[in-house]
Each structure stands twice: as C-alpha cells, then as structure tokens.
Chains A and B, each alone.
Chain A
C-alpha cells in the first residue's frame, strides 16, 4: 500500500496543439474553402469596375471611350479573365450550397437539394439571357 501504485498526479498535463497559420493548406477541402472565400476579392473588384464605368459614363462620351480603351489593355484582359474564373467559382459554390440554407417545403415535405439547385441555375441562365437580350436590343 505504501507508494507502490503510483498514479498520474492530478491534474493531467493535456497536450494542446495551436492551429497553424497555414491550416488551410492542410487538406484540399480546406484550400477550396479559402479559395471560395477569396472570390469576394474579385466580386469587389468587379463592383469597382462597374463604378468606374458609371463614372466614365456620367463624365461624357470621351471618358466612356477612354474606359473602353483602358479595358482593352492586355493586362486588364488577363486580370478580368482570372476574375471571371473566380466569379464563376463563386456562382457555382453559392448555388450548390443554397439548399443547405434555404429549406423549401412543399406539401409537408422538404424539397430535395437538387430541385433548389436547379431552380438557382435556371434563374442564373434566365438572368444572363435577359442581360444579353437587353444589350442586343440596344
């Protein structure tokens, strides 16, 4: 009975690992998550481009022509193409995750995810079509 059975003294020394700053490189899903979050930068970028375009429009035909000319610079075309890829990534992830947040119930049953997603993609197609139509009509 005397000091033979040593037990771990209270309180145990827990081991805690700090989360690395690079945690998002740890796995592909985490990296994809961070890429998805970074799409916001390109969303903001296009919002600013639109604002720039509006200001050029308000300033007159010359400023508008100048804006269109600036957009033709190879650097901006590359940047816009990259932004387009990120914005598309935003749209796809946004629509795919939409049914998780929006629960639609019809006749007492929850609409399956694919139905909500399809509705989103359909709306996307219609919106894009209408924008092109308005543009073509002039």
Chain B
C-alpha cells in the first residue's frame, strides 16, 4: 500500500458553517509533492468543493499563500516531506477576512497599497526627446531588494500589529513605498512620508520582525520600515533646524 499523509484543512462555507471547521483528507505522500499538490489532489479526487487560490506553482505569482501548521507559507514551496509524519494543518492566511475555505479577501491590502503610490512619481516628466531615465547599477542596488515583492501577503499574516490595528498599512506596502523612495527616478518620497507618518503608518510597527522571516523573496519589510523611520526622524530634525528649507 502506498504511503499517505493527512491534511487537516480549514473549511468555511458560509452557507453551511457559521465558522471555520477542520476537515481531514488522506492524500498520497510523495517526496516531490508540495502542499499545493496535495490540495489539488483533494480538489481533483476527493472533494471538488474545496476552494483555494493558486496559479504559477513556482513562487512567482504569490497567490497560494496559506497558513501551514500555523506559519504563513507559499503552499507551492512547502514540501510535504518537511511536515512528516503529519497531519498538516492548512488554514487561510490569518488576520484577513475569510471568504470561503482557504480564500481570503485582500481588498484591504489593495486599498492600502494604492495609498502609498507604489509607482514612479515625477513632479515633471522629462520630454520624450531627452530619452529614458538612466540608472547606474549602484542606484539600482539601493532599492532592488524591495522590488522583489510578489504581494503574496505572507508578511501580513505574520504581523500581529496588522491583526491588532486595522488601520496599519502593513509590511509589504511600506516596503514598496520604500522601494520607490529609494529609486533615483522617483520624486514622490515627501508625499509618501506624509501619508505614512499618519495614524496607521510606519509608527504602528513595533519591529516584531516576523514579516521578514516569512518573506519568500527576502524583501525584508521589517528592515524597510525601520529604515523609513530613521529617514523620517532625520527629516524631522532637519526641518526643525532648517525650517526655511524646502516646504
């Protein structure tokens, strides 16, 4: 008989359960399978009603994030062999409202992401004739790490502050703000600093540091937020000492 492993999957069907409950599934154990493979096996062979998000299966799209044994993981990169002998607890990303089974509603994040203007802001665009905005490898190096974010939201599910303080903009969005602040082509940093100095901004963060640990792309949002605080405090003292400076 082939080896099997049990997956304890959180089910929430609003028309059936008033709140999430676990359902166990026995799936074949294969060394090269990840949790996402097991979920797809369930969906295809055991229970077609199970709902979850996934797309690329290779750690790029950022849609298959779930809590695996209580830790936020990309299920496409969580090997069954790391959870022997099981059972493996699979739950939707914590701190997000659950829409159904393993599917969470991320519109709160999208709204907050938009608030920090994660794009290149220019006071004035260069005329096309002047060519592209050039950047040296060193200038690229300053923000490259923060540009690797795939919006998988594992960092939000790792951040107790996001769970406790609903207004908190959160790790990824602040890291992405920092990504554009550090971009030599961008001129929107003052604007973003204004936004993120408000309630729900960078000062909510108490540097738990778990966001950085769970990030599958080594973005280091915790570092980004602390660096942002340093920059904002420096700016504060500068404007105190030189109030005649710009703005």
Tell me if A16 and B97 are in contact (CB < 8 A).
Answer: yes
Alpha-carbon separation in the docked complex, A13 to B226 (Å): 37
Chain B residues with CB under 8 Å of A23's CB are: 160, 163-164
Is A108 interfacial (CB 8 A cutoff)?
A: yes
Interface of B is mostly: mixed
Is A19 interfacial (CB 8 A cutoff)?
A: yes
Interface size on B, residues (CB 8 A): 33
| CB < 8 Å neighbour of B227 from A16, A24, A37, A103 | A103
Is B68 interfacial (CB 8 A cutoff)?
A: no
Tell me if B94 and A101 are in contact (CB < 8 A).
Answer: no
Q: Given A15-B20, A19-B160, do A8 and B15 touch, yes or no (CB 8 Å)?
A: yes
Chain B residues with CB under 8 Å of A30's CB are: 160, 208, 210
CB distance from B229 to the nearest CB of A (A): 7
User: Can you list, as one digit per residue, whether each of A1-42 has a CB less than 8 Å from chain B (1) or not (0)?
Assistant: 000000010001111110100011011011001000100000
Is B220 interfacial (CB 8 A cutoff)?
A: yes
Which residue in chain A gives the minimum CB-CB distance to B70? A27
Which residue in chain B gives the minimum CB-CB distance to A9? B15
Alpha-carbon separation in the docked complex, A110 to B14 (Å): 50
Given contacts A15-B19, A29-B208, A97-B207, 9 further A-B contacts (CB under 8 A): A12-B100, A14-B105, A19-B95, A19-B163, A29-B209, A37-B206, A97-B226, A100-B212, A108-B138
Q: Which residues of B contact A (CB under 8 A)?
A: 12, 14-15, 19-20, 70-71, 94-95, 97-100, 105, 138, 141, 160, 163-164, 206-210, 212-213, 220, 222-223, 226-227, 229-230
